């Protein structure tokens, strides 16, 4: 060990000397520096560069869903953190923002009481991971208040970054519930961030979120009108985190001067776009660029900005033309959170602790399972349908539980329902899970508890597409499910009939 120390030291010193030279300045930057006809550009390189990174519509995701392993392998907070860490090494002025609908997904509001503890634990993993990554602001999206304002306040207390909404107010006196803006110092630049929540949340939803003192929302466009001018005055760059539909955000860009960037969740016809096509990922309206990226943490949006004083509005840098003189430029790119990225060890630990699932079942709080007796399980069917059972046991449906166990995900309520029979109906407690593991006969054929007693009098209807779609659901698997193509792979052999 001792003998090698001096050599290692030499190598390290050499590397330290060589590395900066190897990294060097980017060729464009070099060209700008050496351009004597454009002296103003020389000062622009360096401290006025901004690297703006954002996520949006995380909808409660903490990892890559295993269901996507084959075709979609992106996502996970562990890798996102590793990417951010890497990006900070390359960019002095990195600003990290979240465009809302972060902690919960669309169906989480409908979850039963026994599922809430785990939802809360998962949201904490998200907040703690965001703290570690160094997030600087998050807009409150409508899904974020799905478990109520009191709950969201608990998350806010854990967060080292502000939760913002300029238009979420108390219905009684219209006073704000959260801060409206934050100003971030990034090197020499001041970045003004304004946050606006979707303004069409139904009243009952807002009242339910805080029944003692109901909430309300101010109009998004009016809110932008009110706040943008003062941010414009105080800041170099104005960013609007607007968790609103695409047409509302376009209207804001058209009618409110002075916004440089809108982080747009890309809601069209009432629906969030989970996956954004390249052509839709960035759009310019007047002086404002609207940037979009995919949901579930699959890809982050990044804007590499070269900022010049008086250089507004920004223009896109492109390979084939030099930007107009004196204008600030941006390069927009979505970064795919791919498996080759390392995993942040501290977030891995958070995730493992979550999976060990202390909060899986709140003791003593389990509801009555009135449907339990209607589930017969494959063991019962196998007695009479030997051939079909044998066929089924060779399909992946019969090992669906093992697929969860492989990563210790088997007790996660955001996973289990599609990998077992009758979750929440036949069993809840892991101790009772054994007969219900895997995708079984009744997942496809349905319930028919009297069939064994008198099979002729209690026949089954043909298996319909709808029974597959419960699980083969594009939000979850991102794979197009074509019933006629998939059905033959899992259809059991027919019974001999005369």
Residues that bind ligand HEC (CB under 6 A): 65-67, 69-70, 376, 378, 380-385, 388-389, 392, 395-397, 399-400, 403-404, 409, 412, 414-415, 417-419, 439-445, 451-452, 455-456, 459-460, 462-463, 467-468, 470-473, 476-477, 479, 486-487, 489-492, 494-495
Q: What's the min distance (Å) between Cβ of 96 and ligand HEC?
A: 24
Dist. CA 468–CA 247, nearest whole Å: 35
User: Is there a cis peptide before residue 30, judged by omega within 30 degrees of 0?
Assistant: no
If one counts every other C-beta atom within 10 angstroms of the C-beta of residue 367, the result is 10
Q: What's the min distance (Å) between Cβ of 441 and ligand HEC?
A: 3
Dist. CA 294–CA 225, nearest whole Å: 28
Question: Cβ closer to ligand HEC: 367 or 455?
Answer: 455
Contact 78, 118 (CB under 8 A): no
Q: What's the min distance (Å) between Cβ of 409 and ligand HEC?
A: 4
Q: What's the min distance (Å) between Cβ of 438 and ligand HEC?
A: 8
Question: Cβ closer to ligand HEC: 153 or 372?
Answer: 372
Question: Cβ closer to ligand HEC: 2 or 489?
Answer: 489
Q: What's the min distance (Å) between Cβ of 365 and ligand HEC?
A: 22
If one counts every other C-beta atom within 10 angstroms of the C-beta of residue 109, the result is 17
Q: What's the min distance (Å) between Cβ of 243 and ligand HEC?
A: 24
Contacts of 284 (CB under 8 A, 6+ apart): 290, 316
Question: Cβ closer to ligand HEC: 250 or 438?
Answer: 438
Q: What's the min distance (Å) between Cβ of 241 and ligand HEC?
A: 27
Q: What's the min distance (Å) between Cβ of 466 and ligand HEC?
A: 9
Beta-carbon-side half-sphere exposure of residue 364 (alpha carbons within 13 Å)? 0
Question: Cβ closer to ligand HEC: 35 or 382?
Answer: 382
- CA dist list (Å): 222 to 167, 199, 202, 241: 9, 11, 19, 15
Question: Cβ closer to ligand HEC: 52 or 400?
Answer: 400
Q: What's the min distance (Å) between Cβ of 61 and ligand HEC?
A: 8
Q: What's the min distance (Å) between Cβ of 442 and ligand HEC?
A: 5
Dist. CA 245–CA 266, nearest whole Å: 6
10-41 core/surface letters (b: 16 or more CB in 10 A; e: else):
eeeeeeeeeeeeeeeeeeebeebbeeeeeeeb
Dist. CA 239–CA 186, nearest whole Å: 13
Question: Cβ closer to ligand HEC: 200 or 448?
Answer: 448
Dist. CA 139–CA 163, nearest whole Å: 6
Residue owning tokens 């008198």: 454
Dist. CA 55–CA 269, nearest whole Å: 22
Angle (nearest 5°) at CA 379 between 375 and 385? 105
Question: Cβ closer to ligand HEC: 219 or 380?
Answer: 380
Q: What's the min distance (Å) between Cβ of 407 and ligand HEC?
A: 6
What's the token pair of residue 382? 């196998």
Ramachandran bin of 314, using left for φ above 0, alpha for ψ from -120 to 50, beta for the remaining angles: beta
User: How deeply is 439 buried, as exposed, middle or buried, from its count of CB atoms within 10 A (0-12, 13-18, 19+)?
Assistant: buried
Cα–Cα nearest to 62, from 112, 107, 139, 119: 119
Question: Cβ closer to ligand HEC: 91 or 445?
Answer: 445
Dist. CA 184–CA 205, nearest whole Å: 32
Question: Cβ closer to ligand HEC: 35 or 475?
Answer: 475
Contact 137, 98 (CB under 8 A): yes
Cα–Cα nearest to 137, from 157, 160, 154, 168: 160
Question: Cβ closer to ligand HEC: 315 or 399?
Answer: 399
Angle (nearest 5°) at CA 66 between 63 and 68? 100
Q: What's the min distance (Å) between Cβ of 448 and ligand HEC?
A: 7
Question: Cβ closer to ligand HEC: 279 or 495?
Answer: 495
């Amino acid at each position: 060990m001792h003998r090698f120390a001096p050599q290692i030291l030499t190598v390290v010193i050499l590397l330290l000397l060589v590395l900066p030279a190897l990294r060097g300045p980017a060729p464009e930057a070099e060209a700008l520096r050496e351009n004597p006809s454009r002296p103003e550009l020389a000062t622009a390189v360096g401290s006025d560069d901004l690297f703006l990174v954002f996520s949006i519509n995380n909808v409660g995701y903490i990892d890559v869903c295993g269901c996507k392993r084959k075709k979609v392998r992106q996502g996970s907070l562990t890798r996102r953190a590793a990417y951010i860490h890497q990006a900070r090494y390359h960019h002095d002025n990195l600003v990290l923002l979240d465009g809302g609908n972060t902690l919960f997904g669309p169906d989480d509001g409908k979850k039963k009481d026994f599922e809430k503890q785990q939802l809360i634990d998962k949201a904490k993993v998200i907040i703690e991971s965001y703290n570690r990554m160094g997030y600087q602001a998050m807009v409150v999206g409508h899904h974020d208040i799905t478990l109520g304002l009191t709950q969201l306040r608990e998350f806010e207390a854990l967060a080292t970054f502000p939760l913002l909404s300029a238009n979420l107010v108390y219905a009684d006196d219209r006073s704000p519930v959260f801060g409206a803006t934050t100003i971030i110092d990034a090197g020499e630049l001041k970045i003004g961030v304004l946050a606006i929540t979707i303004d069409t949340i139904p009243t009952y939803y807002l009242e339910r979120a805080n029944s003692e003192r109901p909430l309300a929302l101010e109009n998004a466009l009016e809110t932008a009108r009110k706040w943008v001018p003062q941010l414009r005055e105080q800041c170099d760059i104005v960013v609007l985190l607007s968790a609103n539909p695409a047409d509302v955000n376009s209207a804001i860009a058209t009618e409110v001067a002075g916004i440089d960037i809108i982080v747009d969740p890309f809601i069209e016809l009432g629906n969030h776009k989970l996956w954004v096509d390249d052509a839709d990922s960035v759009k310019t309206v007047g002086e404002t660029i609207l940037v979009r990226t995919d949901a579930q943490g699959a890809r982050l949006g990044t804007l590499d900005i070269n900022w010049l004083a008086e250089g507004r509005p920004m223009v896109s840098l492109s390979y084939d033309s030099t930007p107009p003189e004196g204008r600030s430029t941006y390069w927009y790119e979505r970064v795919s959170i791919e498996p080759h990225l390392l995993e942040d060890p501290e977030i891995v630990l958070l995730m493992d602790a979550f999976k060990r699932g202390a909060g899986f079942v709140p003791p003593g709080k389990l509801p009555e399972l009135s449907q339990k007796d209607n589930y017969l399980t494959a063991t019962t069917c196998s007695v009479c349908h030997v051939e079909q059972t044998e066929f089924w046991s060779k399909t992946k449906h019969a090992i669906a539980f093992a697929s969860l166990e492989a990563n210790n995900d088997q007790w996660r309520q955001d996973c289990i329902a599609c990998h077992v029979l009758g979750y929440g109906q036949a069993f809840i407690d892991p101790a009772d899970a054994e007969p219900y593991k895997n995708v079984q006969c009744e997942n496809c054929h349905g319930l028919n508890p009297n069939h064994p007693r008198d099979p002729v009098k209690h026949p089954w209807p043909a298996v319909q597409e709808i029974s597959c779609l419960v699980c083969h659901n594009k939000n979850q698997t991102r794979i197009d499910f074509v019933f006629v193509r998939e059905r033959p792979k899992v259809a059991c052999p027919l019974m001999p009939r005369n």
